[in-house]
Chains A and B, each alone.
Chain A
Amino acid sequence: MPTTFTLNGKKTTIDADPETPLLWVIRDDLKLTGTKFGCGAALCGACTVHLDGEAVRSCQIQARDVEGRDVTTIEGVTGNVAAAVRAAWIKLDVAQCGYCQSGQVMAAVGLLSQISKPTDQDIDKAMDGNICRCSTYHRIRAAIHEASTTLPG
C-alpha cells in the first residue's frame, strides 16, 4: 500500500505492507541504516526516531502510522540542539561500540528540544528506555548537561 510521508524534510512515498515496522521501511526500503535494530519490542531504544518532532520507537510505529507525518532519523536530524548534542558527544567521547548511539543522540535531542536544562532526574526519566550495553551512561549524562550549557535557557 502506498504511504506518503516526510522523511528528513523530503517527501517520500513507499509501497509497504501497512504493518511493516517503520524501522524496516527506513533501513531496508529507504536505505538509511543509521537507525538500528536492537530488540524489536520497544525495550532498548536503538531504533529511536522522531515522529512529528517527538522521540518514538520505530520498531513499533508501522507504515500505516506515518501517512502525512514527519519522520526524522539520525541522518537528518539538524538544528542547534542536534549540533550541540553531537558536539558534546564528540567532546566527551561518549561512544564505545556506537551501535546504540544513534538512538541515544535522537533521544537526547528529543529531551533537550523540550527541556533545555534537564536535571539528572529528567535524564533518568527521558533516557531510561535507551540501553547502552557498553554502559556509556555516565558520559551520556555528562554530554547532555554539556550540550545544555550551550543552548539558550
Chain B
Amino acid sequence: MNAPRLTGIFALPGETPQASRRSFLKIAGGAGAGLVLGMAIPLRGVSTGAIAAASETLQPNPFLQVAPDNTVTVIIKHLDKGQGAATGLATLVAEELDADWSQIKTEFAPADPVKYKNFAFGVQGVGGSTGLSNSYEQYRLAGATAKAMIVAAAAKDWGVPANEITVKAGVVSHGDKRATFGDLASKAAAENVPEKPALKDSKDFVYIGKSFPRVDGKAKTTGAAKFTIDHQFDGMLIATIARPPMFGATVKSFDANEAEKIKGIVKVLQVPQGIAVLATSTWAALQAQRAIKVTWDDSKAEKRSTSDIVAAYKAKLDTPGISARKDGDVEAGFKSAAKVVEVDFEFPYLAHAPMETMDCVIKYDGKSAEIWTGSQLQTVDHGTACAVLGLKPEAVQIHTVWAGGSFGRRAIADSHYVREACEIAKSYGKPVPIKVIWTREDDIKGGYYRPIYVHRIKAGLDKDGNIVSWLHRIVGQSIIAGTPFESGMVKDGIDATSVEGASTLPYAIPNLQVELHTEKTGVPVLWWRSVGATHTAHATEHMIDILAKESGRDPVDFRLAMLAKHPRHAGVLKLAAEKAGWLSGQPPDGKMRGIAVHESFASYVANAAEVSLRDDGSVKVERVVCAIDCGIAVNPDVVIAQVEGGLGYGLGAALKGAITMKGGVVEQSNFDDYDVLRISEMPKVEVYIVPSAQPPTGVGEPGTPVVAPAVANALLAGTNVRTNVLPMNKQKYKGQS
C-alpha cells in the first residue's frame, strides 16, 4: 500500500501491512504481554476472514456483505467522528461494485487488529488524516471482489459469458436479462473468491470524484444517530468520577456521606482515577460527583502555573537544542546578512472540547466484556480493556459507534477513558451495564491538551531582501514520549510531531537549522487536530510575512520565489491568491488581507484571509479563500466540508483558545471561559480543490493550521502588529495601523 509520508499521528516509519503483528506487539505491549499473544491468534488471511458463509448473504471479505434483500452493507474499519469515514469507505466499495448509492448501508467493524488494521499504523485505528488514504485500494478491491463473484454467478445462471455482463447502479444485465445484487447474493456466495479482481480505470469512476450525500446525513437530522452516550440498557448504572483538581494528585481520603444521601446513588468506589459514583440516573450521578468530599494528595502533582511553564520554556530558547534539520551553516549565514530579525512565539495549551464529552459503556460479567465507545484506536482500547479486566482478547468485544467529534481526543495512547470504565466495572463486580460519562468541566479541566510550545525564529536577510539564514528553535512537551508509540516515533531525541512543519519548511533557504528542546510537565498532552502544524505553521508562515514586510516584498511573490522545487505548495498558493483577488488589486475598503500556505498530512493548503477589526478592537475574519491539493478528492463535497470545518476549528483557537493553570489548577471549566468559535464569528469560506490524479491524502487536519497565520499576516499588513502570542485576544491591534 502506498502510504503517504506521514509525520503526524501514529505514523510508524517503515511499517508495512505485513508487519502488523509486530506493530501490535509494540503498541499494545504497554497493556500486557499475555494479551498480545492472545490477540495475535486470530491472524488469518483476508479471504478466510469471511464470516461463515452458510447464509444467503454474499460476504467475500470482511468489508462488505450483500444480502438477499439487496442491501450492501459496508463494514467501516475506522471510527467516524464527523470526518466522513463511513461515507468515504462506502464510496470506494460502491464504486467498484457498481452499486446504487441507495442500497448502501454502513456498519462499524468490530475491534480486530488484523482484519481492520490501518496500513499507516499497522493496527486498527484512525488518525493523522489517514482514514481514506490507507483504505483506498483495500476497499475498492473489496467491492471489485464482490462484483466479480456476482457477475460469475449471473453468467452461470444465464449461461452467458461473464465478460458480456454489465453492472450498473446495482443492476446486473445481459440482453433482456436483469437481476439485482440481492437476487444473486446467495449464488454469488458459492463462487470462488477471485485472487486479484481488476480495478476500474479512474476515467470510469461514477462515484469517486463526485459529490453525493453522506450516508449519515439523515440520521443526524432526526436524532436517530446513536452515539456512546445514547446507549441505554435495562438496569444500567451511570457513573461519574470526582477527579483530582491537579494533574498527578491522588486520593488521600474521601467522605461520601452527602453523596450517598442523593436518591438513586447505588455505590461509591475508589478507582485509580478518583472516586467513582454509580447511580440509577444521570442526574443523580452528576449531583453526587460534586457532593463527594475528597482530600487529595498533591505531593506529586504538577503545581506550576502556565506562566511558569512558559517562562521555563523561554529560558531554553537561548541554548541550542537537538538538531532536527541542518542545511548549510546558519552562523555563517547570519554573518553575511544585511539584516537579522528575531521573533519569539508562544502557543498555549488547547483543549479539544468535542461536543460529545468522553464516555464509555461497558457490560462486564467477570468472564467477558462488551464495550461501546467512539474508539479511534480500537486496538489500543481493546488491549487496555483486556489487560485491566484480565480477559483474553476474544472475550472482549469493542463496538465502535458514531463519535460526537474527536479532533484527536479519542485517540489516546493510554486509553484512559476505556481504562477507567473497566476499572469501575471490575471494582463494582456486578454484571450490570455501566455508562461512564464526563461532564464538560471534566473535559475542559481534564488535560490531554495540545502542548504549550514556544518558538524562536532568527532569520537573516541579504541586501536584496532574500532569506539567507533561518534558525528555528522549538521548546515544548513531546506528545509521544512515554507512550507505546515512543520507540517508533521518537528518533534521536526528536519527536517528529514537535517539529513537523518546521523541519519540513519548503522554502529555498541556503542556511537552515531547526532545533528542539523537549521538556517535561505533569500535564497530559495529546495530538490536537493537525498536531505539530498547530504551532509550526503559524510560527513559520507568520515569520515569512514579517520578513517579506522587512524586505518590502509582496507576500505571495516572496514565497513563490522560494518554492521553485515545491510546485504543490506553489500551486495552492497561486490558486488561493487568484481566487481571493490578490493579484488584481487591493483588499476591499477597511479590510486587511493576509495569506499563508502549509503542507500537513501530505496535503497542501493555502488560505487567503480578509480581516477587519470591530469597534472594540477584536478581530473579525470576514472571508477566507482556501485552496487544497489532496490528490484525488474521493468525495469533493466531503473534502470541502473538512476544509471549512478544519478552518473554523483552527480559527476559534487562534482567536480565543487557551487553557491556563494557576498553581497547577486549570482556570477554565466550560464554554464560558473556554469559548469556541460560534456562528457569528465564522467567516465566509470558499474552497477550491486542485485537480489531481495523485493518490488521495489527508483532509481532516490540513485545513486547520493555515488560518491563524493567514489572519495574523492580514493584521500585520493592516496594523503592523505581530501576532507572536496566541490566542489573538491577548494582543492589541486597534489604533496601531
Chain A directly contacts chain B within the complex, with at least one CB pair under 8 Å: yes
Partner of A102, one of B223, B403, B678, B679: B223
CB <8 Å contact, B671 and A43? yes
Contacting residues of chain A (120-136) with chain B, CB-CB under 8 angstroms: 123-125, 127-136
Query: Assuming A96-B83, A99-B405, is B672 touching A138 (CB within 8 A)?
Result: no
Residues of A within 8 A of B229 (CB): 33, 36-37
CA distance A8 to B411 in the complex (A): 38
Contact A96 B82, beta carbon cutoff 8 Å: yes
Interface centre among A46, A73, A137, A138 (most CB of B within 10 A): A138
Question: B680, A128: Cβ atoms under 8 Å?
Answer: yes
Interface size on A (CB < 8 Å)?
Answer: 57
Chain A hits for B148, CB < 8 A: none
| B648–A41 CB distance below 8 A | no
Q: Which residues of A contact B179 (CB under 8 A)?
A: none
Write the chain A residue with the least CB distance to B677: A135
- Chain B positions 217 through 244: 1 when the CB is less than 8 Å from some CB of chain A, otherwise 0: 1111111111101101000001000000
A129 to B679, CA, bound (A): 8
CA distance in complex: A32, B230 (Å): 9
Bound CA span A37–B435, Å: 14
Nearest first, the 3 closest Cβ-Cβ pairs linking A and B are A34-B223, A135-B648, A99-B404
Closest-CB distance, B229 to chain A (whole angstroms):
7
Contact indicator B286/A98 (Cβ below 8 Å): no
Q: Interface residues, chain B, CB within 8 Å of chain A?
A: 81-84, 213-214, 216-227, 229-230, 232, 238, 263, 281-283, 286, 353-357, 402-407, 437, 439-440, 637-638, 641-642, 644-649, 651-652, 670-672, 676-680, 682, 684-685
**With A43-B670, A97-B405, A133-B353: A75-B222 Cβ-Cβ less than 8 Å:** yes
Closest A residue, CB atoms, query B644: A138
Check A33–B223 contact: CB distance below 8 A: yes
Q: Which residues of A contact B404 (CB under 8 A)?
A: 36, 97-100
Contact B679 A123 (CB under 8 A): yes
**Residue numbers in A under 8 Å from B670 (CB-CB):** 39-41, 43
Q: With A96-B82, A131-B678 given, is the CB distance from A27 to B213 under 8 Å?
A: no
What is the CA–CA distance of A38 and B671 in the complex, to the nearest angstrom? Answer: 10
Q: Does A21 contact B (CB under 8 A)?
A: yes
Q: Is the CB of B680 within 8 A of A124?
A: yes
List of B residues within 8 angstroms of A40 by Cβ: 286, 439-440, 670
| Chain A to chain B contacts (Cβ below 8 Å), 17 pairs | A17-B283, A34-B222, A36-B227, A36-B229, A37-B229, A41-B670, A44-B440, A86-B218, A86-B221, A94-B217, A96-B642, A97-B354, A123-B679, A128-B680, A133-B405, A133-B407, A139-B641
Residues from chain A with Cβ under 8 Å of B437 in the complex: 37
User: 18 additional contacts, CB 8 Å, given A17-B263, A97-B82, A99-B356?
Assistant: A24-B281, A28-B238, A29-B281, A35-B223, A41-B440, A43-B672, A74-B223, A86-B218, A90-B221, A93-B637, A96-B82, A105-B221, A128-B680, A133-B405, A134-B645, A135-B644, A137-B682, A138-B685
Contact of A138 among B225, B648, B678 (CB under 8 A): B648
A44 and B637 alpha carbons, distance in the complex (Å):
27
Contact residue among A43, A75, A86, A93 (Cβ-Cβ distance under 8 Å from B213): A93
Beyond A74-B222, A133-B355, A135-B645, whether A99 also contacts B440 by CB under 8 A is no
A138 CA / B404 CA spacing, docked (Å): 19
B441 to chain A, nearest CB (A): 8
Bound-state CA distance A57–B415 (Å) is: 32
> Across the interface, which residues of A come within 8 angstroms of B672, CB to CB?
41, 43
Query: Which residues of chain A have C-beta atoms less than 8 A from B407's C-beta?
Result: 133
Residues of A within 8 A of B439 (CB): 40
Output the least CB separation between B252 and chain A (Å). 28
B356 partner residues in chain A, CB cutoff 8 A? 36, 38, 97, 99
Residue from B232, B641, B679 within 8 A of A93 (CB atoms) = B641
Chain A residue numbers with a CB within 8 Å of B637 are 93
B232 to chain A, nearest CB (A): 6
The reply to whether B224 and A100 form a contact with Cβ atoms under 8 Å apart is: no
In the complex, chain A residues 40-57 whose Cβ is within 8 Å of any chain B Cβ: 40-41, 43-44, 46
